[in-house]
Amino acid sequence: MTFRWRIRHKLLLGLGVVVGIMAILLTGCLQGLAAFTATVKTADSKLVELSTASKLFHHISSLKAPAGRGLTVGETVEGFREQVTKAREYLDKYEEQLDESLQRGRSFEGEDAQDKTGQTKGLVQQLRGRLTELDTALTEYINQPKLIAPGESDKLADDTDVQEALGWVVRTADQLHKTGYSDFWSGLAQARADQRRSFLIVLATGVGGIMLTAGMLRVFYRWVFHPIRALHEGVGRVARGDFSQPIEVHSSDEFQELAAAFNEMAAKLQGQYRDLANEVQERGQQLERSERLASVGFLAAGVAHEINNPLASIAFCAEGLERRLTELLGRFPREHATIQKYLRMIQDEAFRCKQITGNLLEFARVGEGERALTDVGEVVQSVLDIVQHLQNAQGKRIVFRPAGRPATLANPQEIKQVVLNIVVNALDSMDEGGVLTITLAPNDGAAELIFADTGCGMPPEILDNIFEPFFTRSRTGKGTGLGLSISHRIISQHGGEIEANSPGPGEGSTFVVRLPLQPAIVKETAVGHAAAA
């Protein structure tokens, strides 16, 4: 299983890098501070040692054997020995300070630090031995018998052994003094080198920390800031209604999952937006169609009332003339057939116009009938029982497939008229051998009727206007173009929907009618009202 970097892992990694950077910087700073502190303390101790060493050197340098007169031999030697003893005290104090510095670790570090320390310790012991030799020479000088003239003191400065021992003491003290100064200055040089090294360490750790911080910021920009910016831009596009560009995030963490979920949500929203736009367009067309139908309905009612009675009068007059002229026209056989033909034509056309006005009146009166609980399957079956005897149904097959028996609160005669109009249109559109398939089933709170034929089909320009009044493209050349308009008005008055679809010319057509199913309590109430009426 491939490990995926989650946001918490990335944050923990960033925290670890920050802690590491701080640790590196803190280590470098502490190391430099410790080196500086050690150097200061060591220099302080060394200065104390050098002060004592200087006092020792100056004291020993001032040691000279007395050469004057007026003193006895014992007094001369004892005074000189006191000076030697004081020099030994300076030496003891210097050695004590040296040991204390070594014990407290206050010594300059370097490649030859131990050698220099050993050399200093050796010079201290050597000087101590030289002082001991000087003291021995003084003792021998006192114990050695000498021939001294009366009234004269001994000259200690002329004693060869004492002078030789004193010379070695002075030279050793001078060497110790120089070694101390040399050790101090070389220690300071080493301390400056250590300081430079500490500075370089701090500088290197600082530069490394800055580089790590820059790298971490770059990585976090790619891991965190870039996905957040991509999400922000994507949300902005969706807020502006632009669904064309999905959010691209490849961080392999919660941001990528969030982007995928948002893209899925945007896709669903786009689909709903598209469906809503189509529905709004369809509802707008239906509203426009309903307004047109309402206008046509008012116009049709007025026109029908105005011309229905004159048409009836014309038809009845034509019938009366035909009866009265029968005997008279018997004398003129040639004229009889022509006049009778014209009178029959007047009657047929008058009754045809009267039928059109009747349809107009019926179109204007849609929705005024009583409604009752209606079995839609029974209505369809009753229409099919009538239609199968029509002339245009010969050689064609009608298949009815009901799934259940949905019932709706409707006017049975009006629903029967809708079914009849759609079935007759389907039969007219099919050639011999065509099949009309009718399915009925409850669907999403509605009784759904689907009429699918194998007829001539319809192009898009006909589909857009098929429910308009007086619009017809019947292959038989008959019809007024009001059948589907009336059907649309009836279904709309019942709170339902009707729509037409066709893949194209020659590929058949499909009409879908949806009538809302009423709750049981509404059905019972409706049935009670219908019975009472």
Give the model confidence (pLDDT) of 177-189 as tens digits.
788 777 777 777 7
Q: Which two tokens stand for residue 416?
A: 């029967």
First-residue to last-residue Cα distance in the chain? 76
HSE (side-chain half, CA atoms, 13 Å) at 63: 31
* pLDDT tens for each residue of 335-360: 777 777 777 788 777 777 776 676 66
* pLDDT tens for each residue of 407-464: 888 888 888 889 988 998 888 888 888 999 999 999 888 999 999 999 888 888 887 7
Q: What is the pLDDT of residue 71?
A: 41
Residues 451, 437: Cα–Cα separation, whole Å: 6
DSSP classification of residue 221: I
Q: What is the pLDDT of residue 347?
A: 77
Q: What is the mean pLDDT of residues 200-226?
A: 79
Contact 406, 518 (CB under 8 A): no
Q: What is the pLDDT of residue 145?
A: 57
Q: What is the pLDDT of residue 172?
A: 84
Contact 502, 463 (CB under 8 A): yes
By the 10 Å C-beta count (0-12 exposed, 13-18 middle, 19+ buried), 438 is classed as: buried
Structure confidence at residue 533 as a pLDDT band (50, 70, 90): very low
Helix or strand holding residue 148 (H, E): none
More confident residue, 154 or 18: 18
- 7-11, 379-383, 497-501, 522-526: lowest mean pLDDT where? 522-526
CA 16, distance to chain mean position in Å, is: 25
Helices 376-387, 412-429: axis angle to 10 degrees equals 50
Task: Please determine, for residue 510, whether its predicted confidence score (pLDDT) is greater than 90.
Answer: yes
Q: What is the pLDDT of residue 438?
A: 93
Q: What is the pLDDT of residue 103?
A: 79
Residue among 54, 53, 187, 188 nearest 124 (CA): 53
Q: What is the pLDDT of residue 452?
A: 94
Contact 233, 216 (CB under 8 A): no
Q: What is the pLDDT of residue 523?
A: 37
HSE (side-chain half, CA atoms, 13 Å) at 135: 14
Q: What is the pLDDT of residue 529?
A: 35
* pLDDT tens for each residue of 76-109: 677 777 888 888 888 888 888 888 877 777 666 5
Q: What is the pLDDT of residue 45?
A: 78
| Max Cα distance, the chain (Å) | 221
Contact 138, 80 (CB under 8 A): yes
Q: What is the pLDDT of residue 471?
A: 62
Task: Please determine, for residue 480, whether its predicted confidence score (pLDDT) is greater than 60.
Answer: no
Task: Please determine, for residue 155, whether its predicted confidence score (pLDDT) is greater than 50.
Answer: yes
Task: Please determine, for residue 152, whether its predicted confidence score (pLDDT) is greater than 60.
Answer: no
User: By percentage, how much of the chain surpasses pLDDT 70?
Assistant: 77
**Cα→Cα distances 470→70, 199, 289, 345, 421, Å:** 165, 100, 13, 24, 14
Q: What is the mean pLDDT of residues 376-394?
A: 85
- 150-164, 226-240, 337-351, 493-507: lowest mean pLDDT where? 150-164
Structure confidence at residue 70 as a pLDDT band (50, 70, 90): very low
Contact 502, 437 (CB under 8 A): no
Q: What is the DSSP string of 446-482?
A: EEEEEEEE-S----HHHHTTTTSTT----TTS---S-
Residue among 399, 383, 386, 513 nearest 454 (CA): 399
Task: Please determine, for residue 380, whether its predicted confidence score (pLDDT) is greater than 50.
Answer: yes
Contact 321, 343 (CB under 8 A): yes
Task: Please determine, for residue 266, whether its predicted confidence score (pLDDT) is greater than 70.
Answer: yes
How high does pLDDT run on average in the chain?
A: 76
Q: What is the mean pLDDT of residues 161-182?
A: 82
